[in-house]
Amino acid sequence: MTTRLDRFLAYSESRRLTVCVIAGVLTAIIAWVDWRTPDVSTGFLYLFPILLAAPALRSWQILLMAALCGFLREAFDPLRFGPGATERLSVVIAGFAMTGFFVAELNQRRRNLADYLAERERQIRLRQEAEQQVRILIETSPLAILTLNHSGRVAQANESAHELLGFDNESLPGADVAPYLPILYRMLKNPRSAANLSTNVECKAQRRNGEVFLAHVWLSTYHTSQGPGLAAVVWDASENLRDREGSGFDSMMATSRVLIGAISHEIRNLASAAGSAHARLAAECPVQGNDQYEVMGTLIQGLEKIASSGLRAASNREAVVADLGTVLDETRIIIEPGLQEAGISLIWEVGGALPLVQADHHSLLQVFVNLARNSAQALEGRPVREMRISVAVESDLVAVHFRDSGPGVAQPDELFHPFHSGAHSVGLGLYISRAILRSHGGGLRYDPDGPGSCFTVELWPVENQVES
Protein backbone atom coordinates (compact mmCIF):
# COMPACT_ATOMS: atom_id res chain seq x y z
CA MET A 1 0.00 0.00 0.00
CA THR A 2 1.56 3.33 -1.09
CA THR A 3 1.69 6.38 1.21
CA ARG A 4 1.21 10.03 0.30
CA LEU A 5 4.97 10.51 0.36
CA ASP A 6 5.41 7.63 -2.11
CA ARG A 7 2.80 9.13 -4.40
CA PHE A 8 4.43 12.55 -4.13
CA LEU A 9 7.90 11.23 -4.94
CA ALA A 10 6.55 9.17 -7.83
CA TYR A 11 4.71 12.21 -9.20
CA SER A 12 7.82 14.41 -8.91
CA GLU A 13 9.93 11.85 -10.77
CA SER A 14 7.40 11.26 -13.54
CA ARG A 15 6.54 14.96 -14.12
CA ARG A 16 10.00 16.49 -14.14
CA LEU A 17 9.26 19.59 -16.22
CA THR A 18 6.05 20.41 -14.36
CA VAL A 19 7.71 20.00 -10.97
CA CYS A 20 10.71 22.12 -11.98
CA VAL A 21 8.42 24.90 -13.22
CA ILE A 22 6.41 24.82 -9.97
CA ALA A 23 9.63 24.84 -7.93
CA GLY A 24 10.90 27.81 -9.94
CA VAL A 25 7.66 29.76 -9.45
CA LEU A 26 7.64 28.92 -5.74
CA THR A 27 11.24 30.10 -5.42
CA ALA A 28 10.36 33.38 -7.13
CA ILE A 29 7.36 33.91 -4.80
CA ILE A 30 9.49 33.24 -1.72
CA ALA A 31 12.17 35.63 -3.00
CA TRP A 32 9.52 38.33 -3.63
CA VAL A 33 8.06 37.85 -0.12
CA ASP A 34 11.57 37.93 1.32
CA TRP A 35 12.30 41.15 -0.59
CA ARG A 36 9.02 42.77 0.48
CA THR A 37 9.62 41.97 4.18
CA PRO A 38 13.25 42.97 4.75
CA ASP A 39 12.87 42.98 8.53
CA VAL A 40 11.57 39.39 8.70
CA SER A 41 13.77 36.35 7.90
CA THR A 42 11.86 33.95 5.67
CA GLY A 43 14.88 32.20 4.17
CA PHE A 44 13.88 28.81 5.61
CA LEU A 45 11.01 28.78 3.09
CA TYR A 46 13.53 28.02 0.31
CA LEU A 47 13.60 24.44 1.65
CA PHE A 48 10.16 23.79 0.12
CA PRO A 49 11.08 24.26 -3.57
CA ILE A 50 14.18 22.16 -2.95
CA LEU A 51 12.09 19.41 -1.36
CA LEU A 52 9.65 19.62 -4.26
CA ALA A 53 12.22 19.56 -7.07
CA ALA A 54 14.89 17.24 -5.61
CA PRO A 55 13.24 13.96 -6.85
CA ALA A 56 13.24 15.36 -10.40
CA LEU A 57 16.84 16.72 -10.37
CA ARG A 58 20.29 15.23 -10.75
CA SER A 59 23.04 15.76 -8.18
CA TRP A 60 24.65 18.73 -9.92
CA GLN A 61 21.22 20.29 -10.46
CA ILE A 62 20.48 19.97 -6.74
CA LEU A 63 23.76 21.70 -5.93
CA LEU A 64 22.97 24.47 -8.40
CA MET A 65 19.48 25.00 -6.96
CA ALA A 66 20.88 24.93 -3.39
CA ALA A 67 23.44 27.61 -4.36
CA LEU A 68 20.70 29.78 -5.96
CA CYS A 69 18.38 29.50 -2.94
CA GLY A 70 21.28 30.14 -0.56
CA PHE A 71 22.28 33.27 -2.49
CA LEU A 72 18.67 34.57 -2.51
CA ARG A 73 18.32 33.92 1.21
CA GLU A 74 21.54 35.81 1.94
CA ALA A 75 20.65 38.62 -0.48
CA PHE A 76 17.32 39.39 1.22
CA ASP A 77 18.44 38.58 4.78
CA PRO A 78 18.26 41.48 7.26
CA LEU A 79 22.00 41.13 7.84
CA ARG A 80 22.63 41.27 4.10
CA PHE A 81 26.23 40.63 3.17
CA GLY A 82 27.59 41.74 6.49
CA PRO A 83 30.32 40.20 8.64
CA GLY A 84 30.33 36.36 8.43
CA ALA A 85 28.22 36.36 5.25
CA THR A 86 30.53 33.89 3.51
CA GLU A 87 30.34 31.41 6.39
CA ARG A 88 26.55 31.78 6.60
CA LEU A 89 26.20 31.32 2.82
CA SER A 90 28.34 28.15 2.89
CA VAL A 91 26.31 26.68 5.75
CA VAL A 92 23.00 27.57 4.08
CA ILE A 93 24.05 26.09 0.71
CA ALA A 94 25.32 22.95 2.46
CA GLY A 95 22.06 22.63 4.39
CA PHE A 96 19.90 23.12 1.28
CA ALA A 97 22.07 20.66 -0.69
CA MET A 98 21.94 18.02 2.06
CA THR A 99 18.17 18.39 2.20
CA GLY A 100 17.94 17.88 -1.57
CA PHE A 101 20.31 14.91 -1.49
CA PHE A 102 18.29 13.36 1.35
CA VAL A 103 15.08 13.62 -0.65
CA ALA A 104 16.79 12.32 -3.79
CA GLU A 105 18.23 9.35 -1.89
CA LEU A 106 14.84 8.70 -0.33
CA ASN A 107 13.31 8.68 -3.80
CA GLN A 108 16.05 6.33 -5.08
CA ARG A 109 15.38 3.90 -2.23
CA ARG A 110 11.66 4.13 -2.94
CA ARG A 111 12.31 3.34 -6.59
CA ASN A 112 14.58 0.39 -5.73
CA LEU A 113 12.00 -0.94 -3.31
CA ALA A 114 9.26 -0.56 -5.91
CA ASP A 115 11.37 -2.39 -8.49
CA TYR A 116 12.13 -5.14 -5.99
CA LEU A 117 8.47 -5.55 -5.08
CA ALA A 118 7.45 -5.54 -8.75
CA GLU A 119 10.07 -8.18 -9.57
CA ARG A 120 9.00 -10.22 -6.57
CA GLU A 121 5.39 -10.07 -7.65
CA ARG A 122 6.42 -11.08 -11.17
CA GLN A 123 8.42 -14.03 -9.85
CA ILE A 124 5.54 -15.09 -7.61
CA ARG A 125 3.15 -14.86 -10.53
CA LEU A 126 5.48 -16.86 -12.77
CA ARG A 127 5.95 -19.48 -10.07
CA GLN A 128 2.21 -19.74 -9.56
CA GLU A 129 1.69 -20.11 -13.32
CA ALA A 130 4.43 -22.76 -13.49
CA GLU A 131 2.94 -24.62 -10.54
CA GLN A 132 -0.47 -24.46 -12.18
CA GLN A 133 0.95 -25.81 -15.45
CA VAL A 134 2.79 -28.61 -13.63
CA ARG A 135 -0.37 -29.44 -11.67
CA ILE A 136 -2.40 -29.60 -14.88
CA LEU A 137 0.30 -31.69 -16.56
CA ILE A 138 0.38 -34.14 -13.66
CA GLU A 139 -3.37 -34.41 -13.32
CA THR A 140 -3.96 -34.91 -17.05
CA SER A 141 -1.00 -37.25 -17.61
CA PRO A 142 -1.89 -40.78 -18.75
CA LEU A 143 1.11 -41.97 -16.71
CA ALA A 144 0.71 -42.66 -13.02
CA ILE A 145 2.64 -40.05 -11.01
CA LEU A 146 3.04 -40.25 -7.24
CA THR A 147 5.34 -39.10 -4.45
CA LEU A 148 6.27 -40.89 -1.22
CA ASN A 149 7.18 -39.44 2.15
CA HIS A 150 10.05 -40.70 4.30
CA SER A 151 7.94 -43.53 5.77
CA GLY A 152 6.99 -45.01 2.39
CA ARG A 153 3.42 -43.73 2.30
CA VAL A 154 1.91 -41.97 -0.70
CA ALA A 155 2.03 -38.20 -0.25
CA GLN A 156 0.46 -37.17 -3.57
CA ALA A 157 -0.95 -39.09 -6.54
CA ASN A 158 -2.68 -38.12 -9.75
CA GLU A 159 -5.86 -39.65 -11.19
CA SER A 160 -3.92 -42.10 -13.37
CA ALA A 161 -2.14 -43.46 -10.28
CA HIS A 162 -5.53 -44.10 -8.64
CA GLU A 163 -6.71 -45.98 -11.73
CA LEU A 164 -3.48 -47.95 -12.14
CA LEU A 165 -3.46 -49.24 -8.55
CA GLY A 166 -7.22 -49.77 -8.35
CA PHE A 167 -8.09 -46.87 -6.03
CA ASP A 168 -11.00 -45.66 -8.14
CA ASN A 169 -13.36 -44.89 -5.27
CA GLU A 170 -10.87 -44.22 -2.47
CA SER A 171 -8.03 -41.81 -1.89
CA LEU A 172 -4.53 -43.11 -2.54
CA PRO A 173 -2.56 -40.51 -0.49
CA GLY A 174 -1.73 -41.93 2.92
CA ALA A 175 -1.68 -45.56 1.72
CA ASP A 176 1.40 -47.74 2.22
CA VAL A 177 3.02 -48.29 -1.19
CA ALA A 178 4.85 -51.52 -0.27
CA PRO A 179 1.97 -53.95 -1.08
CA TYR A 180 1.51 -52.42 -4.56
CA LEU A 181 4.96 -51.26 -5.69
CA PRO A 182 7.50 -52.87 -3.34
CA ILE A 183 10.39 -51.65 -5.48
CA LEU A 184 9.59 -48.04 -4.51
CA TYR A 185 9.76 -48.83 -0.81
CA ARG A 186 13.08 -50.66 -1.24
CA MET A 187 14.53 -47.78 -3.25
CA LEU A 188 13.36 -45.27 -0.64
CA LYS A 189 15.04 -47.24 2.16
CA ASN A 190 18.18 -47.84 0.09
CA PRO A 191 21.20 -46.08 1.67
CA ARG A 192 21.93 -44.57 -1.74
CA SER A 193 18.60 -42.71 -1.67
CA ALA A 194 20.29 -39.99 0.36
CA ALA A 195 22.42 -39.23 -2.72
CA ASN A 196 19.50 -38.22 -4.95
CA LEU A 197 19.16 -41.55 -6.74
CA SER A 198 17.63 -41.39 -10.22
CA THR A 199 16.96 -44.50 -12.33
CA ASN A 200 14.34 -46.56 -14.14
CA VAL A 201 13.37 -50.19 -13.53
CA GLU A 202 10.94 -52.85 -14.69
CA CYS A 203 9.31 -54.73 -11.86
CA LYS A 204 6.27 -56.67 -10.73
CA ALA A 205 3.43 -54.58 -9.34
CA GLN A 206 0.02 -55.37 -7.94
CA ARG A 207 -3.34 -53.64 -7.98
CA ARG A 208 -5.57 -53.35 -4.97
CA ASN A 209 -7.71 -56.27 -6.18
CA GLY A 210 -4.64 -58.55 -6.36
CA GLU A 211 -4.10 -58.38 -10.12
CA VAL A 212 -0.39 -58.54 -10.99
CA PHE A 213 1.07 -56.48 -13.83
CA LEU A 214 4.45 -55.46 -15.21
CA ALA A 215 5.37 -51.91 -14.23
CA HIS A 216 7.97 -49.71 -15.88
CA VAL A 217 9.03 -47.13 -13.28
CA TRP A 218 11.06 -43.92 -13.55
CA LEU A 219 12.00 -42.81 -10.04
CA SER A 220 14.16 -40.29 -8.23
CA THR A 221 14.78 -39.52 -4.56
CA TYR A 222 15.03 -36.10 -2.97
CA HIS A 223 15.60 -34.55 0.45
CA THR A 224 12.88 -33.34 2.80
CA SER A 225 13.04 -31.93 6.32
CA GLN A 226 11.93 -35.32 7.72
CA GLY A 227 14.10 -37.55 5.54
CA PRO A 228 14.38 -38.81 1.97
CA GLY A 229 11.34 -38.64 -0.29
CA LEU A 230 10.68 -40.30 -3.61
CA ALA A 231 8.92 -39.31 -6.83
CA ALA A 232 7.89 -41.96 -9.35
CA VAL A 233 6.30 -42.17 -12.78
CA VAL A 234 4.74 -45.58 -13.38
CA TRP A 235 3.58 -47.15 -16.65
CA ASP A 236 1.73 -50.44 -17.07
CA ALA A 237 3.99 -52.30 -19.53
CA SER A 238 1.97 -55.54 -19.54
CA GLU A 239 0.37 -54.90 -22.91
CA ASN A 240 3.72 -53.90 -24.38
CA LEU A 241 5.23 -57.13 -23.04
CA ARG A 242 2.46 -59.18 -24.64
CA ASP A 243 2.88 -57.36 -27.95
CA ARG A 244 6.66 -57.73 -27.81
CA GLU A 245 6.51 -61.44 -27.08
CA GLY A 246 3.83 -61.94 -29.74
CA SER A 247 5.86 -60.06 -32.34
CA GLY A 248 8.97 -61.97 -31.36
CA PHE A 249 7.17 -65.29 -31.71
CA ASP A 250 5.73 -64.31 -35.10
CA SER A 251 9.16 -63.19 -36.27
CA MET A 252 10.72 -66.43 -35.02
CA MET A 253 8.10 -68.49 -36.86
CA ALA A 254 8.58 -66.48 -40.06
CA THR A 255 12.36 -66.93 -39.86
CA SER A 256 11.92 -70.63 -39.08
CA ARG A 257 9.73 -71.09 -42.17
CA VAL A 258 12.35 -69.35 -44.28
CA LEU A 259 15.10 -71.53 -42.84
CA ILE A 260 13.04 -74.69 -43.37
CA GLY A 261 12.42 -73.65 -46.96
CA ALA A 262 16.09 -72.95 -47.59
CA ILE A 263 17.23 -76.23 -46.08
CA SER A 264 14.46 -78.12 -47.91
CA HIS A 265 15.67 -76.57 -51.13
CA GLU A 266 19.17 -77.85 -50.45
CA ILE A 267 17.82 -81.28 -49.53
CA ARG A 268 15.77 -81.40 -52.71
CA ASN A 269 18.84 -80.55 -54.78
CA LEU A 270 20.79 -83.34 -53.09
CA ALA A 271 17.90 -85.76 -53.46
CA SER A 272 17.56 -84.90 -57.14
CA ALA A 273 21.26 -85.51 -57.69
CA ALA A 274 21.08 -88.78 -55.77
CA GLY A 275 17.97 -89.83 -57.72
CA SER A 276 19.74 -89.20 -61.01
CA ALA A 277 22.73 -91.26 -59.87
CA HIS A 278 20.35 -93.99 -58.67
CA ALA A 279 18.62 -94.08 -62.05
CA ARG A 280 21.93 -94.27 -63.94
CA LEU A 281 23.08 -97.07 -61.68
CA ALA A 282 19.94 -99.06 -62.50
CA ALA A 283 20.50 -98.52 -66.22
CA GLU A 284 24.17 -99.46 -66.19
CA CYS A 285 24.25 -102.37 -63.72
CA PRO A 286 21.92 -105.31 -63.06
CA VAL A 287 20.54 -104.41 -59.60
CA GLN A 288 17.23 -106.28 -59.70
CA GLY A 289 16.56 -107.86 -56.33
CA ASN A 290 19.39 -105.96 -54.66
CA ASP A 291 18.13 -104.96 -51.21
CA GLN A 292 20.68 -102.15 -50.74
CA TYR A 293 19.68 -100.62 -54.05
CA GLU A 294 16.00 -100.65 -53.03
CA VAL A 295 16.80 -99.16 -49.62
CA MET A 296 18.73 -96.37 -51.31
CA GLY A 297 15.78 -95.65 -53.58
CA THR A 298 13.41 -95.55 -50.61
CA LEU A 299 15.77 -93.19 -48.80
CA ILE A 300 15.93 -90.87 -51.81
CA GLN A 301 12.13 -90.84 -52.10
CA GLY A 302 11.86 -90.02 -48.38
CA LEU A 303 14.25 -87.12 -48.73
CA GLU A 304 12.26 -85.79 -51.68
CA LYS A 305 9.04 -85.99 -49.65
CA ILE A 306 10.66 -84.18 -46.70
CA ALA A 307 11.97 -81.47 -49.02
CA SER A 308 8.56 -81.06 -50.68
CA SER A 309 6.82 -80.79 -47.29
CA GLY A 310 9.33 -78.21 -46.13
CA LEU A 311 8.94 -76.14 -49.28
CA ARG A 312 5.15 -76.24 -48.97
CA ALA A 313 5.38 -75.09 -45.34
CA ALA A 314 7.74 -72.28 -46.30
CA SER A 315 5.49 -71.11 -49.12
CA ASN A 316 2.43 -71.01 -46.84
CA ARG A 317 2.76 -67.37 -45.76
CA GLU A 318 0.90 -64.10 -46.11
CA ALA A 319 2.12 -61.15 -48.12
CA VAL A 320 3.62 -58.50 -45.80
CA VAL A 321 4.67 -54.90 -46.28
CA ALA A 322 7.38 -52.96 -44.42
CA ASP A 323 8.16 -49.25 -44.27
CA LEU A 324 11.79 -49.18 -45.43
CA GLY A 325 12.44 -45.76 -43.87
CA THR A 326 11.22 -46.92 -40.45
CA VAL A 327 13.26 -50.13 -40.60
CA LEU A 328 16.41 -48.19 -41.48
CA ASP A 329 15.78 -45.68 -38.67
CA GLU A 330 15.43 -48.54 -36.18
CA THR A 331 18.61 -50.09 -37.58
CA ARG A 332 20.51 -46.86 -36.97
CA ILE A 333 19.20 -46.61 -33.43
CA ILE A 334 20.40 -50.17 -32.73
CA ILE A 335 23.85 -50.08 -34.35
CA GLU A 336 25.05 -46.48 -33.94
CA PRO A 337 25.98 -46.55 -30.21
CA GLY A 338 28.04 -49.72 -30.68
CA LEU A 339 29.80 -48.30 -33.72
CA GLN A 340 30.69 -45.13 -31.81
CA GLU A 341 32.16 -47.17 -28.95
CA ALA A 342 34.24 -49.15 -31.45
CA GLY A 343 35.51 -45.94 -33.10
CA ILE A 344 33.71 -46.63 -36.38
CA SER A 345 32.39 -43.67 -38.37
CA LEU A 346 28.89 -44.21 -39.73
CA ILE A 347 28.12 -42.35 -42.95
CA TRP A 348 24.35 -42.27 -43.36
CA GLU A 349 23.22 -41.61 -46.93
CA VAL A 350 19.53 -42.35 -46.59
CA GLY A 351 17.06 -39.81 -47.90
CA GLY A 352 13.44 -39.29 -47.00
CA ALA A 353 10.25 -40.56 -48.60
CA LEU A 354 11.45 -44.15 -49.01
CA PRO A 355 8.89 -46.55 -50.49
CA LEU A 356 7.03 -49.39 -48.85
CA VAL A 357 8.67 -52.71 -49.71
CA GLN A 358 7.71 -56.37 -49.77
CA ALA A 359 9.31 -57.72 -46.60
CA ASP A 360 8.58 -58.60 -43.00
CA HIS A 361 9.49 -55.66 -40.75
CA HIS A 362 11.27 -57.64 -38.02
CA SER A 363 12.99 -60.04 -40.42
CA LEU A 364 14.29 -57.16 -42.55
CA LEU A 365 15.54 -55.43 -39.41
CA GLN A 366 17.43 -58.61 -38.46
CA VAL A 367 19.03 -58.71 -41.91
CA PHE A 368 20.19 -55.07 -41.70
CA VAL A 369 21.57 -55.48 -38.18
CA ASN A 370 23.38 -58.71 -39.18
CA LEU A 371 25.06 -56.98 -42.14
CA ALA A 372 26.10 -54.01 -39.97
CA ARG A 373 27.58 -56.28 -37.31
CA ASN A 374 29.48 -58.26 -39.94
CA SER A 375 31.00 -55.00 -41.21
CA ALA A 376 31.89 -53.95 -37.66
CA GLN A 377 33.70 -57.26 -37.11
CA ALA A 378 35.57 -56.82 -40.39
CA LEU A 379 36.78 -53.37 -39.28
CA GLU A 380 38.44 -54.57 -36.07
CA GLY A 381 42.06 -53.50 -36.05
CA ARG A 382 41.79 -51.52 -39.29
CA PRO A 383 43.51 -48.08 -39.47
CA VAL A 384 40.45 -46.55 -41.18
CA ARG A 385 37.11 -47.57 -39.70
CA GLU A 386 34.24 -46.39 -41.79
CA MET A 387 30.81 -47.80 -42.62
CA ARG A 388 28.57 -46.30 -45.26
CA ILE A 389 24.85 -47.13 -45.59
CA SER A 390 23.07 -45.79 -48.66
CA VAL A 391 19.83 -46.35 -50.56
CA ALA A 392 19.35 -46.16 -54.32
CA VAL A 393 16.73 -47.14 -56.87
CA GLU A 394 18.18 -49.58 -59.39
CA SER A 395 15.83 -50.53 -62.25
CA ASP A 396 12.59 -51.53 -60.52
CA LEU A 397 14.27 -52.51 -57.26
CA VAL A 398 15.27 -50.57 -54.15
CA ALA A 399 18.90 -51.32 -53.26
CA VAL A 400 20.31 -50.78 -49.76
CA HIS A 401 24.13 -50.81 -49.77
CA PHE A 402 26.26 -51.67 -46.73
CA ARG A 403 29.86 -50.70 -47.58
CA ASP A 404 32.82 -50.71 -45.18
CA SER A 405 36.54 -49.91 -45.35
CA GLY A 406 37.56 -53.40 -44.31
CA PRO A 407 39.92 -55.81 -46.08
CA GLY A 408 37.23 -57.26 -48.35
CA VAL A 409 36.20 -60.89 -48.78
CA ALA A 410 38.86 -63.39 -49.81
CA GLN A 411 36.47 -66.09 -51.13
CA PRO A 412 33.22 -64.40 -52.20
CA ASP A 413 31.96 -67.58 -53.91
CA GLU A 414 31.51 -69.25 -50.50
CA LEU A 415 29.82 -66.31 -48.75
CA PHE A 416 26.25 -67.54 -48.92
CA HIS A 417 26.97 -71.23 -48.34
CA PRO A 418 25.87 -72.54 -44.94
CA PHE A 419 28.66 -73.40 -42.50
CA HIS A 420 31.38 -72.02 -44.76
CA SER A 421 34.87 -71.97 -43.26
CA GLY A 422 35.52 -68.21 -43.38
CA ALA A 423 32.56 -67.24 -41.18
CA HIS A 424 33.01 -65.57 -37.79
CA SER A 425 30.60 -67.97 -36.05
CA VAL A 426 28.61 -70.90 -37.50
CA GLY A 427 28.33 -69.41 -40.97
CA LEU A 428 24.54 -69.15 -41.18
CA GLY A 429 24.00 -65.39 -40.92
CA LEU A 430 24.38 -64.48 -44.59
CA TYR A 431 22.75 -67.72 -45.70
CA ILE A 432 19.62 -67.06 -43.63
CA SER A 433 19.60 -63.35 -44.53
CA ARG A 434 19.56 -64.14 -48.23
CA ALA A 435 16.90 -66.81 -47.70
CA ILE A 436 14.70 -64.27 -45.84
CA LEU A 437 15.02 -61.73 -48.64
CA ARG A 438 14.43 -64.31 -51.36
CA SER A 439 11.24 -65.45 -49.63
CA HIS A 440 9.83 -61.98 -50.35
CA GLY A 441 11.14 -61.77 -53.90
CA GLY A 442 14.25 -59.78 -53.02
CA GLY A 443 17.87 -60.77 -52.76
CA LEU A 444 21.28 -60.24 -51.16
CA ARG A 445 24.47 -60.02 -53.18
CA TYR A 446 28.12 -59.16 -52.67
CA ASP A 447 29.64 -56.43 -54.88
CA PRO A 448 33.38 -57.05 -55.37
CA ASP A 449 33.98 -53.69 -57.06
CA GLY A 450 35.51 -50.87 -55.05
CA PRO A 451 37.55 -50.81 -51.83
CA GLY A 452 36.43 -52.76 -48.79
CA SER A 453 33.29 -54.87 -48.80
CA CYS A 454 29.84 -54.01 -50.09
CA PHE A 455 26.69 -56.05 -49.55
CA THR A 456 23.54 -55.00 -51.39
CA VAL A 457 20.03 -55.78 -50.21
CA GLU A 458 17.50 -55.80 -53.06
CA LEU A 459 13.83 -55.21 -52.27
CA TRP A 460 10.71 -54.90 -54.37
CA PRO A 461 8.64 -51.75 -53.84
CA VAL A 462 4.96 -52.45 -53.21
CA GLU A 463 3.96 -50.65 -56.42
CA ASN A 464 6.15 -53.12 -58.35
CA GLN A 465 4.83 -56.15 -56.51
CA VAL A 466 5.90 -59.54 -57.80
CA GLU A 467 5.33 -63.10 -56.73
CA SER A 468 8.34 -64.55 -54.96
Q: Which of 236, 266, 293 is a domain's end point?
A: 236
| Residues 246 and 218 reside in one and the same domain | no
In a domain, 311, yes or no: yes
- Whether residues 203 and 248 fall in one domain: no
Same domain, residue pair 259 and 371: no
Amino acid 468: pLDDT: 46
Helix (H) or strand (E) holding 390, with range, is: strand 386-394
Tell me: do 302 and 369 sit in the same domain.
Answer: no
In this prediction, residue 154 carries a pLDDT of 92
pLDDT in tens, 78-116: 556 566 667 777 887 788 788 878 887 877 887 888 888
CATH number for the domain harbouring residue 180 = 3.30.450.20
Q: Do 338 and 423 share a structural domain? A: yes
172-204: per-residue pLDDT in tens? 999 999 999 998 888 888 776 556 788 888 888
**Per the domain annotation, does 126 fall within a domain?**
no
Tens digit of each residue's pLDDT (9 = 90 or more) over 329-359? 999 998 998 999 989 999 999 887 888 998 8
- Sorted by sequence, the CB contacts under 8 Å of residue 13 that are 6+ apart come out as 55, 56, 107, 111
Q: Residue 266's domain spans which residues? A: 241-315
Indicate whether this model's pTM tops 0.85. no
pLDDT at 284: 63
Query: Cα–Cα distance between 371 and 335 in angstroms, integer?
Result: 10
- Given 188, 207, 236, the domain boundary residue is 236
Is residue 57, in this structure, part of any structural domain at all?
Answer: yes
Same domain, 190 and 253: no
The domain boundary, picked from 236, 263, 280, lies at 236
Asked whether residue 136 is domain-assigned, the answer is no
Q: Is 229 within a domain?
A: yes
Residue 89 sits in the same domain as residue 157: no
350 shares its domain with 435: yes
Predicted pLDDT at 426: 41
Q: Report the C-alpha gap between 229 and 151 in whole angstroms.
A: 8
Question: pLDDT under 50 in the chain at which residues?
Answer: 1, 311, 423, 425-426, 467-468
Q: Is residue 127 part of a domain?
A: no
Q: What is the pLDDT of residue 345?
A: 92
Q: Is residue 123 situated within a structural domain?
A: no
CATH number at residue 349: 3.30.565.10
Distance of CA 168 to the CA centre of its chain: 32
Do 458 and 334 lie in a common domain? yes
Q: Are 416 and 372 part of one and the same domain?
A: yes
Domain count, the chain: 4
CB 367 within 8 A of CB 430: no
Transcribe 270-331 into DSSP letters: HHHHHHHHHHHHHHHS--TT-HHHHHHHHHHHHHHHHHHHHHHHHH------EEHHHHHHHH
Q: Are residues 93 and 10 in the same domain?
A: yes
- 428 and 332 part of one domain: yes
